[in-house]
Amino acid sequence: MIKNMDVRGIINSMGLVFGDIGTSPIYTLTVIFIITKLTEEHVLGVLSLIFWTLIILVTIEYSWLAMSLGKKGEGGTIVLKEILVPLLKSGRKVSVITFLSYVGISFLLGDGVITPAISILSAVEGLRVIPGLEAIHQNTLILIAGIIAIGLFSIQRKGTEKIAWVFGPLMILWFGTLAFSGVISIFSTPEVLKAINPYYAVEFVLTNGWTGFFVLSEVILCATGGEALYADMGHLGKEPIIKAWKIVFVALVLNYLGQGAFMLRNPNSTNVLFEMIYQQAPVIYIPFLILSVLATIIASQAMISGMFSIVYQGISTRIAPLLKIDYTSEEMKSQIYISVVNWLLLISVLFVMYEFKESHKLAAAYGLTVTGSMVITGIMMTLIFYIRKDMLKSAIAFLVTIVDFVYLLANMYKIPHGGYWSITIAAILLSMILIYTSGQKRLYRLLKPMVLDDFLKKYNMLYMRASKIKGTALFFARDMSFVPQYITHTMFDNGIIYEDNVVISISLSEEPFGVNRTFKEEISKGLRVFEIKMGYMEVIDLVEILRAEGIDERTIFYGEEEIITDNVIWRIFALMKKLSPSFVQFYKLPSDKLHGVVTRFEM
């Protein structure tokens, strides 16, 4: 028997993980048969390709291989990098894998812009199936989809915790409807069941030459969102997601087979799923249309939350600048809202809706960077299994990576048809990551920190002779072995020294979660170090931690860098630093106690 906890986990997974892949039946077959002649052989071939794509790229790559890798149950591209890097001995190999992980993150964010646009717009286009609305203008549909998108992004600040409990039940209703309508259609044309045989997939590709190969670029639409199985593993747990996928997989396969059967009976169909539902039961069509819109909103919500999570991982692992973060839940610190990401994403979604106008044109640009991300995941998994001497999984991962690569090559066809937008967005994000990480390394070298032993000699002399200010002063340093310049400037150049000086060191552990905090032994009279070691996906409340440790500071000192440069790249880096909140703003430290120490650097 399935326990209540398992049932709750499965329901939550339905709502939070499978929205994207679960709404792909709305547009996948419709788009494929825009570029493919509709014959029985082609229908069977395409259905077979869809079935085996779901098996290889979702079930094997993500549900089995990727989910067997994790740190404390956490998954995602950054986690794979954190697992792989310690296993590599060469510094050059580490650099290559680090760069690949940056590319993978950029790819996910690049296609993430299209997810809400294609999902919402394709559902809204179902209005045309309603008698009397066949001639509704496309601009009207874009306006409706845009209003839905604006409403969705506008509620993010308030958080979705209060309504998230309905996501799972609604998606169960959605998948149940997909499965039931598919079964009804299959009964009328049972020969579509032959498509489960991989022979039809192979025959389709071989007999159709380049056309068959490029059809793969649209077949991949059935698997977009599959990466969420692994990326969301930490939020919901491995077992509930795998169990939920088994249910979702059956529902998706039944519906795709049903749509194929419907197309054989109705070769002039232009909006397969909606026309099939309308033909089966006109009385429930409008409720189904409303359900489809809700399902696409849920899919978009999962993507938005995923974007926030990926960006926060980037901030915590220091590959992205600090951004203002708000917590939308008092119970769950993982529920966050990043204003800049939210509004940039909305602007991008509205732009691509306006630019492409129709869901089938959006589909022509969709999936390119997702397949790139799948290739990177495959490469990293293959290496991890190989280094760990798990040769069976390494061999299977290698074969899956080859399949990923074939799909990536097929998707190159999309570049001139709008795929360049995904690549452009991903390239901009990758450039920002590379500029920021390179700039941080260069800036750190210019900071000229003082070695601890030299610092202590000067500090002890000053502490003995100088008149001290009553109370506690806080300073921040990543590693107390090297004391930042702003601390030496404050104490030695300006002669500001307090009775109690606490240096707070915040560093990342190799695990995704967990917070360890300790006061080190007093390294000198009036000088203490408070060390916080946190998981690279952990969200902490620094003020709360300080209060829990009894630290009641009078003043907080922090360093500010003013960058002077004629180099274009470093100017971009300086602008990123200027526009992003400072360290103390990011952690919401009390503003009335803050004192910034500005140091000018020439890069």
CA 311, CA 341: separation in Å to the nearest integer?
A: 8
Domain identity same for 295 and 411 = yes
Q: Where are the beta strands (DSSP E) in 363-461?
A: 450-451
Q: Is the pLDDT of residue 511 over 80?
A: no
Range of weakest confidence among 90-94, 235-239, 270-274 = 235-239
Q: Tell me the mean pLDDT in the region 80-98.
A: 85
CA 102, CA 438: separation in Å to the nearest integer?
A: 13
**When comparing pLDDT for 241 and 258, which is higher?**
258
Q: Does a structural domain hold residue 431?
A: no
Domain identity same for 411 and 454 = no
The predicted pLDDT at position 9 comes to 81
The predicted pLDDT at position 541 comes to 80
Q: Tell me the mean pLDDT in the region 22-42.
A: 93
Which of 548-554's residues contact partners 24+ apart within 8 Å by CB, and which partners? 549/517, 549/519, 551/472, 551/474, 551/502, 552/472, 553/471, 553/472, 553/473, 553/474, 553/502, 553/593, 554/469, 554/470, 554/471, 554/472, 554/473, 554/498, 554/593
CA 474, CA 555: separation in Å to the nearest integer?
A: 6
Domain identity same for 492 and 585 = yes
Domain identity same for 401 and 456 = no
The predicted pLDDT at position 371 comes to 92
Gyration radius of the chain's alpha carbons: 27
The predicted pLDDT at position 539 comes to 72
Domain identity same for 182 and 312 = yes
Q: Is the pLDDT of residue 5 over 70?
A: no
Q: Is the pLDDT of residue 534 over 70?
A: yes
pLDDT in tens, 137-155: 999 999 999 999 999 999 8
**Domain C-terminal end among 417, 439, 470:** 417
Q: Does a structural domain hold residue 41?
A: yes
**When comparing pLDDT for 446 and 240, which is higher?**
240
CA 406, CA 391: separation in Å to the nearest integer?
A: 23
**When comparing pLDDT for 192 and 368, which is higher?**
192
Query: Tokens 């919500």 appear where?
Result: 301
Q: Does a structural domain hold residue 176?
A: yes
CATH number of the domain residue 294 falls in? 1.20.1740.10
Domain identity same for 394 and 456 = no
3-state secondary structure of 252: helix
Q: Does a structural domain hold residue 458?
A: yes
Q: Tell me the mean pLDDT in the region 409-427.
A: 88
Decide the pairing of beta strands 325-327 and 336-338: antiparallel
Name, in order, each residue with C-beta under 8 angstroms of 85's C-beta and a sequence gap of 6 or more.
Answer: 94, 97, 98
pLDDT in tens, 478-491: 878 888 888 999 99
Q: Tell me the mean pLDDT in the region 271-287.
A: 95
The predicted pLDDT at position 431 comes to 94
Say what angle helices 285-316 and 339-356 make with each other, to 10 degrees. 130
Domain identity same for 456 and 389 = no
The predicted pLDDT at position 346 comes to 93
Q: Tell me the mean pLDDT in the region 458-484.
A: 88
Name, in order, each residue with C-beta under 8 angstroms of 3's C-beta and a sequence gap of 6 or more.
Answer: none
Domain identity same for 381 and 508 = no
Q: Does a structural domain hold residue 586?
A: yes
Q: Tell me the mean pLDDT in the region 211-223.
A: 92
Range of weakest confidence among 72-81, 82-91, 472-481, 500-509 = 72-81
**Domain C-terminal end among 396, 417, 438:** 417
CB of 20 closer than 8 Å to CB of 248: no
pLDDT band at 45 (very low <50, low <70, confident <90, very high): very high
Average pLDDT, the chain: 88
Domain identity same for 156 and 265 = yes
Which one-letter amino acid corresponds to residue 296?
T
**Percent above pLDDT 70 for the chain:** 94
3-state secondary structure of 530: strand
CA 481, CA 75: separation in Å to the nearest integer?
A: 33
Q: Tell me the mean pLDDT in the region 579-602.
A: 82
Q: Tell me the mean pLDDT in the region 343-356.
A: 92
Q: Tell me the mean pLDDT in the region 109-118.
A: 84
Q: Is the pLDDT of residue 231 over 80?
A: no
CA 57, CA 226: separation in Å to the nearest integer?
A: 8
**Domain C-terminal end among 367, 398, 417:** 417
Range of weakest confidence among 13-17, 60-64, 351-355, 378-382 = 13-17
Q: Is the pLDDT of residue 58 over 90?
A: yes
Please count the structural domains in the chain.
Answer: 2
The predicted pLDDT at position 512 comes to 64
Q: Tell me the mean pLDDT in the region 9-31.
A: 89
pLDDT band at 1 (very low <50, low <70, confident <90, very high): very low
**First CA to last CA distance, the chain:** 65
pLDDT band at 332 (very low <50, low <70, confident <90, very high): low
Domain identity same for 455 and 412 = no
* pTM for this predicted structure: 0.85
Q: Does a structural domain hold residue 432?
A: no
In eight-state DSSP terms, residue 557 is E
**When comparing pLDDT for 448 and 257, which is higher?**
257
Report the number of secondary-structure helices (H) and strands (E) in the chain: 26, 10
CA 419, CA 412: separation in Å to the nearest integer?
A: 8
Domain identity same for 354 and 402 = yes
β-bridge mates for residue 279, sequence order: none
The predicted pLDDT at position 536 comes to 66
The predicted pLDDT at position 3 comes to 58
CA 538, CA 71: separation in Å to the nearest integer?
A: 13
Considering 437-441, 505-509, 515-519, the range whose residues carry the highest mean pLDDT is 437-441
The predicted pLDDT at position 21 comes to 92
Q: Which domain holds residue 118?
A: 1-417
Domain identity same for 368 and 460 = no
β-bridge mates for residue 451, sequence order: 482
Name, in order, each residue with C-beta under 8 angstroms of 539's C-beta and a sequence gap of 6 or more.
Answer: 312, 325, 327, 333, 334, 336
Q: Does a structural domain hold residue 442?
A: no
Considering 65-69, 391-395, 500-504, 551-555, the range whose residues carry the highest mean pLDDT is 391-395
Q: Tell me the mean pLDDT in the region 429-445.
A: 90
Q: Is the pLDDT of residue 162 over 80?
A: no
pLDDT band at 519 (very low <50, low <70, confident <90, very high): confident
Burial class (CB in 10 A: 0-12, 13-18, 19+), 384: buried
Stated as kind and residue range, the H or E segment containing 391 is helix 391-411
Q: Does a structural domain hold residue 480?
A: yes
